[in-house]
Amino acid sequence: MFGLLTLALLVAYLYGVQYGLKKMGLSTPQFIRRFAWMTLPLFGWFALSGSLSYLGFFANFSTIPPRFAIALVVPMLCIIAFMSSTTGRAIIAHLPSHWLVYAQVFRIPMELILWALFIEQVIPVQMTFEGFNYDVLTAVFALPIGYFCFTRSRLHKRWAIAWNVVGLGLVTTIVTIAILSAPTPFRVFHNAPANTFIACLPYIWLPGFVVPMAYLIHFASLRQLLSNEPGNQ
């Protein structure tokens, strides 16, 4: 299930990039070159992070900083580069505004996956909606926010801005909880089981891709809303 969700997010990212590039009116060589620049490093990251996870690199929780943190830091740095690049900003400007809201619905199946892992005693309760993980609320409100702010234009865009800010806060909260639940020197939550599953395949791509995608979509939506240049609604 997690593998399918990761694949769906990857396909969504690839589609969004090619959609934005096509709207830029580039020549075929320019399109191919920029599409490759925006996508090939991602496939390289999947291969590298997956290989390191398979070899047990991320399973060492005694280092400072913990090795699994690398899986989150690297894509977050790439997001900064994407958001700062001329091509990245142009892609975001051409994406339909409601896409960047509806896309966050993926967090519903993600939270169900986490809950199932808790039932199987793989992760601790605080990482689920039975504990302190309320990230699912972002996804639940994505549909009405997207519909009333963009599809029907019944609500002012400040509602979408507020939703994005709250969504960023919720995803940051669960990231913090996950870190503090891992068996590192910084561990705060000592209930069993410890958060070690994120070092294993395919779950290394939770901090390595899925969580960064949630951040990227929020950042892209906020950029549109705050720049007063929303996409095709």
* pLDDT for the residue numbered 172: 98
Considering its fold, how many domains does the chain have in total?
1
Let me know if residue 134 belongs to a domain. Answer: yes
Question: CA 160, CA 87: separation in Å to the nearest integer?
Answer: 24
Whole-number CA gyration radius for the chain? 18
* pLDDT for the residue numbered 107: 97
* pLDDT for the residue numbered 60: 93
The residue behind tokens 């390595």 is: 208
Let me know if residue 233 belongs to a domain. Answer: no
Over residues 200-216, the pLDDT tens digits come to: 999 999 999 999 999 99
Let me know if residue 166 belongs to a domain. Answer: yes
Please determine, for residue 228, whether its predicted confidence score (pLDDT) is greater than 90. Answer: no
What does the chain come to in residues?
Answer: 233
Let me know if residue 232 belongs to a domain. Answer: no
The residue behind tokens 């990482």 is: 127
Let me know if residue 80 belongs to a domain. Answer: yes
Let me know if residue 37 belongs to a domain. Answer: yes
* pLDDT for the residue numbered 231: 57
Please determine, for residue 109, whether its predicted confidence score (pLDDT) is greater than 60. Answer: yes
Tokens representing 151 are 């599809």
Return the ∠ at Cα 136 (arms to 226 and 162), rounded to 5°. 20
Please determine, for residue 4, whether its predicted confidence score (pLDDT) is greater than 80. Answer: yes
Question: For the residues 122-132, what does the mean pLDDT come to?
Answer: 95
Write out the residue range of the structural domain in which residue 73 sits: 2-227
How would you classify residue 104: left for phi > 0, otherwise alpha for psi between -120 and 50, otherwise beta?
alpha
* pLDDT for the residue numbered 151: 86
* pLDDT for the residue numbered 227: 87
